[in-house]
């Protein structure tokens, strides 16, 4: 008895026809069974499917990306100093000042304050609307300080850090929809602001890592 | 747009070369408007948001240290401007029951769409034209219409679609990871 010939693997065109539901390709229906027998083929099909999904996403959102000629022209003219809009510095809503209600360093040794502390530092800021918890890693040489935190109530937000130089550089870190955030920062003192769709919360100046604690006004 | 192209484009913008700023607008205006519209802001507020984002970008052109972080910065700045705009509007109290609007697309989906649009621009030529017509255009075309539109035989569309998707996959780096715009926002 002659041995069975292994089935010919489907071509990329056949796979595409299967994924796109093309009615004219007769052997497109063979793709699922071929995938089951060939893991490498299953991976290839998976990649193609993801790309087609991404294309479908781009297609369904195309109207949201539409920019009219007039809108485009206005944005081009932003580069013209004669018509460039004045920068807006207003946060679009009053920033609330948060209270520092917990600081593990101060709690551990109030007499020393922040000085001499080597462990991770836990801090909690509160306002009427928001609570921000942060765990700031202990400083170590040549390493950035890592910050893990949670915002309550959970929701999307941005945490902006600006250094205290004459020309402050700001970095912004996203808070996930679940309220958790994580970032690394060069040791130093920064002004922190938390911005949510509804509120702006000023956490004041916070020392991260090796910098000695602030004892002046506004330092935390 | 890959990071090399973006670095060059930013250099050209800093030197105020003709057309450079317009190219930057061309590349990212859609992303800014898509994020603004996903917040259900009215169109004139979306215009304000876009103008604020691009004005801030123009002011920061010389301070950008990591060109690859630019898309992330644009995304974050747009979010911020949207939230500011929404906070500055008085809350509207609904006096009667209205149907729930359809859910707004997530930021992740908007980023995916932007990545695909950028990849199609990099692809260029007839491949971009074909894939755009088949997948993105307002009126998606079938094989017959696409073949007529591009002046090709109908039998050539299938193989060309496969080749073009293959190239697009390489640009997108289509692997086992989902597409994402680079994350860091510090530029």
For CA atoms B8, B13, B18, B24, give the dihedral sign: positive
Contact yes or no for B115/A60 (Cβ under 8 A): no
CB within 8 Å: B166 and A12? yes
The token pair at A10 is 């489907």
Q: Looking at chain B, list the stretches that DSSP marks H as alpha helix, in order from N- to C-terminal side.
A: 3-14, 20-38, 43-60, 70-88, 107-123, 125-131, 143-150, 154-172
Q: Measuring CA to CA, which residue among A209, A203, A200 is closest to residue A191?
A: A203
pTM reported for the whole predicted model? 0.73
Q: How far apart are the C-alpha atoms of A182 and A174, rounded to whole Å?
A: 8
Is any Cβ of chain B less than 8 angstroms from the Cβ of A92? yes
pLDDT tens-digit series, residues A115-154: 444 678 899 999 988 999 999 998 777 788 999 999 999 9
Higher-pLDDT residue of B88, B15: B15
The answer to whether the CB atoms of B25 and A61 lie below 8 A apart is no
pLDDT band at B184 (very low <50, low <70, confident <90, very high): very low
Beta carbons of A67 and B33 less than 8 Å apart: yes
**Among candidate residues A187, A214, A206, A217, the one with its CA nearest the CA of residue A134:** A206
Instruction: Report how far residue B156's alpha carbon sits from residue B130's, in angstroms, rounded to the nearest whole number.
Output: 11
Span of A32-36, A109-113, B103-107, B144-148 with lowest mean pLDDT: A109-113
Q: Is A56 on the interface with B (CB under 8 A)?
A: yes
Contacts of A173 in chain B (CB under 8 A): 185
Task: Output the DSSP codes for A135-181.
Answer: EEPPP-TT-PEEEEEEEES---EEEEEEESSSS--EEEEEEPTTSEE
Residue A187 pLDDT > 60: yes
ipTM of the complex: 0.84
Q: Is it the case that residue B185 has pLDDT exceeding 50?
A: no
Q: What is the pLDDT of residues A36-55, one digit of tens each?
A: 778 888 888 888 889 999 99
Q: List the single range of A29-43, A91-105, B1-15, B104-118 with lowest mean pLDDT.
A: A91-105
pLDDT in tens, A5-35: 666 777 777 888 788 877 666 676 777 777 7
State phi, psi for A177 to the nearest 5 degrees. Answer: -60, -25
Residue in A17, A55, A64 nearest the CB of B38: A64
Partner-chain residue, chosen from B115, B137, B162, that has the shortest CB–CB distance to A12 = B162
- Buried b or exposed e, range A142-161, using 16+ CB within 10 angstroms: eeebbbebbbeeeebbbbbb
Query: Which residue would you say has higher pLDDT here, B104 or B43?
Result: B43
Q: How far is CA A145 from the centre of its chain?
A: 18
CB-CB under 8 Å, B186 with A172: yes
Q: Which residue has the higher pLDDT, A135 or A167?
A: A135
- B63-117 pLDDT, tens digit each: 888 888 888 889 999 999 999 998 887 665 555 566 676 778 888 999 999 999 9
Put simply, whether B21 touches A (Cβ < 8 Å) is yes
Would you call A16 and B161 a contact, using CB atoms and an 8 Å cutoff?
A: yes
B149 vs chain A: nearest CA distance in angstroms? 19
Alpha carbon A5 to chain centroid distance?
A: 52
In B150-179, the residues whose Cβ lies within 8 Å of chain A are 158-159, 161-162, 165-166, 168-169, 172, 174-176, 178-179
Q: How confident is the model at residue B33 (pLDDT cuts 50, 70, 90)?
A: very high
For chain B, give the longest Cα–Cα distance: 58
Provide Rg for chain B, Cα atoms.
Answer: 19
The answer to whether the peptide bond before residue B60 is cis (omega within 30 degrees of 0) is no
Angle at B145 between CA B142 and CA B147, to 5 degrees: 100
Q: Specify the higher pLDDT residue, A190 or A111.
A: A190
pLDDT value for B34: 96
Contact B185 A85 (CB under 8 A): no
Answer whether B24 touches A (CB < 8 Å). no
Percent of the residues in chain B that have a pLDDT greater than 90, as a whole number: 42
Contact A62 B161 (CB under 8 A): no
Cis previous bond, A153, omega within 30: yes
Residues composing chain B: 187
Tell me the sheet residues that pair with A180: A150
Do A15 and B169 form a contact (C-beta atoms < 8 A)?
Answer: no
Which among A72, A91, A92 is the nearest to B29, CB-wise?
A72
Evaluate if residue A107 carries a pLDDT over 60. Answer: yes
Identify the pLDDT of residue B28. 95
Band (pLDDT 50/70/90 cuts) for residue B178 is very low
CA-based nearest residue to B46, from B56, B35, B54: B35
User: Length of chain A in residues, anyone?
Assistant: 220
Report B:104-133 residues touching A (Cβ under 8 A). 105, 109-110, 112-117, 131
Tokens of B107: 């930021």
- Number of Cβ within 10 Å of residue B40's Cβ equals 12
Which pLDDT score is estimated for A66? 94
Among the listed ranges A85-99, A167-181, B39-53, which one has the minimum average pLDDT value?
A85-99
Within 8 A of A65 by CB-CB distance, chain B residues are 30-31, 33-34, 113-114, 117
**Which residues does chain A have within 8 Å of residue B163's beta carbon, measured at their own beta carbons?**
none
């Amino acid at each position: 008895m002659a041995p069975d010939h292994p089935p010919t693997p489907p071509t990329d065109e056949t796979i595409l026809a299967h994924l796109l539901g093309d009615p004219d390709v007769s052997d497109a229906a063979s793709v699922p069974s071929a995938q089951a027998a060939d893991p490498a083929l299953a991976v290839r099909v998976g990649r193609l499917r993801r790309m087609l999904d991404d294309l479908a996403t781009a297609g369904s959102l195309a109207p949201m990306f539409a920019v009219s000629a007039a809108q485009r022209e206005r944005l081009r003219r932003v580069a013209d100093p004669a018509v460039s809009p004045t920068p807006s510095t207003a946060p679009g809503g009053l920033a609330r000042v948060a209270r520092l209600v917990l600081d593990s360093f101060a709690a551990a040794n109030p007499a020393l304050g922040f000085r001499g502390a080597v462990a991770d530092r836990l801090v909690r800021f509160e306002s009427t609307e928001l609570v921000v918890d942060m765990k700031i890693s202990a400083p170590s040489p040549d390493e950035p300080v890592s910050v893990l935190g949670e915002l309550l109530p959970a929701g999307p937000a941005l945490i902006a850090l600006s250094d205290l130089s004459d020309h402050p550089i700001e970095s912004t870190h996203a808070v996930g929809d679940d309220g958790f955030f994580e970032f690394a920062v060069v040791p130093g003192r920064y002004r922190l602001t938390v911005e949510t769709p509804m509120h702006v919360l000023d956490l004041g100046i916070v020392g991260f890592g090796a910098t000695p604690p602030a004892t002046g006004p506004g330092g935390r | 747009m890959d990071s090399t192209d973006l670095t060059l484009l930013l250099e050209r913008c800093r030197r105020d070369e003709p057309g450079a700023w317009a190219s930057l607008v061309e590349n990212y205006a859609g992303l800014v408007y898509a994020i603004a519209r996903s917040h259900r802001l009215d169109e004139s507020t979306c215009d304000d948001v876009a103008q604020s984002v691009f004005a801030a970008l123009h002011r920061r052109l010389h301070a950008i240290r990591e060109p690859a972080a630019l898309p992330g910065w644009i995304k974050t700045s747009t979010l911020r401007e949207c939230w500011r705009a929404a906070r500055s509007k008085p809350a509207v109290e609904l006096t009667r029951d209205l149907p729930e609007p359809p859910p707004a697309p997530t930021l992740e989906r908007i980023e995916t769409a932007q990545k695909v649009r950028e990849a199609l621009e990099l692809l260029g030529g007839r491949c971009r034209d074909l894939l755009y017509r088949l997948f993105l255009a307002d009126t998606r075309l079938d094989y017959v219409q696409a073949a007529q539109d591009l002046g090709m035989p109908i039998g050539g569309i299938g193989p060309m679609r496969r080749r073009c998707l293959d190239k697009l996959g390489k640009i997108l780096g289509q692997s086992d990871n989902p597409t994402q715009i680079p994350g860091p926002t510090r530029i």
